[in-house]
A and B are shown apart, each in its own frame.
Chain A
Amino acid sequence: MSTATETQRKAPAGERVADWADGRLGIYGLAKANMRKIFPDHWSFMLGEICLYSFIIIILTGVYLTLFFHPSMNEVVYHGSYEPMQGIRMSEAYASTLDISFDVRGGLLVRQIHHWAAVIFLAGMFVHMFRVFFTGAYRKPREINWLFGFLLFVLGMFTGFTGYSLPDDLLSGTGVRFTQGAILSMPIVGTYISMFLFGGEFPGTDIIARFYSIHILLLPGIMLGLVVGHLILVFFHKHTQFAGPGKTNKNVVGMPLLPVYMAKAGGFFFLVFGFISVIAAIATINPIWALGPYRPDQVSTGAQPDWYMGFAEGFVRVMPGWEINLWGHTLVLGVLIPLVLFGVVLAALALYPFIESWITGDKREHHILDRPRNAPTRTGLGVAWVTIYFVMLIGGGNDIWATHFHMSLNAISWFVRIAFFVGPVLAFVVTRRICLGLQRRDKEKVLHGRESGTIKRLPHGEFVEIHEPLSPEQLHTLTAHEQYKPIEIGPTVDENGVERKPSALQKLRARLSKSYYGENNQIAKPTAEEYKEITSGHGHH
């Protein structure tokens, strides 16, 4: 009877709308699983949010810009309101970008928000990616999401490149020329790809229109799909969390989406948007009016790509100009090798999770994050990668370094050439040692307690520092990490006395496993026995 009376009462309007939608979309089922979904809290988890929000900002501002931009290389003579360019020949693309900057009210602001957001989007993805890398968040079941993120990073680079090339100004045109030169270096297909991409010889009259459709439709379309997939997987896997009291591999501890993260994450969108708007108001980015329209026979000094293309630029700048001429053909190694290295360095990042899981042989799910110190080899490799990246950024800006710090350009190029080989090795060794040192300190802290800073003088005159024992929460947190044992090849003779030869791959794997988890490559966690022995009386100082 009670159900009958309940259906009698008129539901509130919101509920009736929800009922309507539920009858068609099944939203109650979705909401049941997701409305109070638990998200763990850590400052580093918001890095990905910065990327998501700057991506949304880029789409919003980008749509606005398409309303005014003319992706055409038709030559016009400028008669707009920017005096220094009066009567100058330029493409319609450049002229319309000047119009957006000087005649459309707010156009300059939107252009600058768009460009700043793109720069921040790429920087955000870079940092977010390394948060995921150094904490091992890419492990099973998240390898595919790592690849989604990796693709977003790479596609973001190319979307950025095609975007800043659209205004057809002197700087970006030079970047396009550089790209064409790099394409030409490809053996056999280079000239064909160049002709097909540019619709003939460089620069031709097609490239801006083609970049336009790539920039506003093709790449962002793919990226939007990847972003949605990335987010669905984050929801589906549930977020990772750091080890701590009450946190296990089988649960997720935090606060619910509604209301806390709805407000925090929703609010954070506005914080990011507001922050970028203020930057766009006070800091000029890409002042194309100061550069002039593109002409293949003109150039300005200090030409630099956007930062995320800087490491590719570095490879191109410091590579010796090797060329091999044989049988009437030219192998342009001086440009081809940088092009290949650009791909190899990025691919290493994409493949790493699979290499690591092959070495560990671990097929279990991982939801508890590693502290970087507890995975010294991984952390060392990550820092080595970042070192290559930043060394190459220096190479990409060698002229800027030379002019700003009054150094020899040749010396900088040589430094980068050497540092490309030496830097990552050094970074790896140093990082791993630091990690091991931090592991030792953690062990010390667990076994002997925290240094309190209080010095006590003993009756016989000895000074000792009082160590305070850690709380059970801290003890658990500092010992919660997992430690692998290195994989052994196993007996080379089986039970019947038949010799079994381990394959080269097995040997390699055992060697790698040892370098990851061997005796000197991780510090054994304190055991309960060690702890009890030390805390039960003697040796407490």
Chain B
Amino acid sequence: MHGTERFTAAVHQWLLGMFSPGAAHIAEMVLTGLAYLAFFAVAGLALVYLERRIAAFFQVRLGPNRVGPFGLLQTVADALKLVAKEPIGTKKADHFLYSLAPYFLIISSLMAISVIPMGAGFSAFDIDVGVFFLIAVSSVGVLGILIAGWGSYNKYSLIGALRSGAQMISYELSVGLSLLTMILLVGSLRFSDVVQAQSDYWLIFKGHIPAFIAFVIFIISGTAESNRTPFDLVEAESELGAGFHSEYSGIQFAFFFLSEFINMFIISAVAATVFLGGWMPFHIGDLEGFNHIMDYIPGPVWFFIKTGFIIFLMMWFRWTFPRLRIDQLMKLEWKYLLPLNLLNILLMAFFVWKGWYL
């Protein structure tokens, strides 16, 4: 914890030494923006490589292992290939909307990443409605998909985009409500408060039964939010109605593709922060010695281990389960997940009132 705070303080002092306070502030903002963009790109590349490798191990084969040592440069080669492709558009496409659509997704993902703390004080904004801000901003991504479908002037893209839009809007309800269940335990929407409240036990252990149910519901809804199997009928119906990104090629397609993986990262990061403790090491109540040993591993390492675990879980789902049909998907949300979520909130409120939590 102290390591990251010292790091940010040192950078702040160095900048103050070089510029006047106003210019140093602006320089800090520019540096943070660049850092996040670099993280975005590297995380996207790493996730694509990981997905292919893990998928290969599930399917008893080797993944990419020729480009670079252990195939680590495979995604770089893919990105270069995509950049070199010609962006073909349709003649009758609405050019303004068609070109605008990918940016909605990128901007909403970047704004969502900026509030998640990766270490103590290691987030771009620490506003006091952090959780609410994150859920609100990720809804903007749905707009990007709808605009992409409409602007392509292709009836199959439109059908795919509308289906995907319906799916994402429905499952946002479950995401929001399951996060709300955990906020009842914490009492504040600020992300740093959420992480600090887990300094004796992680929230999933604190609120035992309702927290576990909320975790399961969050994982299912999060998988549906990022359009992954078993909820990926948008992409896999490319048998018949090609998905909403069918008319895009080249770098614009790369944006859609990347934003899917970054969405997955955001969902995992939120799950890791709210349920599993964020950058807080694994503490058990008052055991001083144990807690002290756990503190040796720095905060960001804990964060990435937990996020990685949930990403692995989501990939495991993708390569095991068949797909759901669109009406089954809607039925699952509105008839099963939403009532369970509401009941769960009542249960958690009852437990908090009685004080039956760790």
Q: Do A and B share a complex?
A: no
Which residues in A have some Cβ–Cβ distance to B below 8 Å? Answer: none
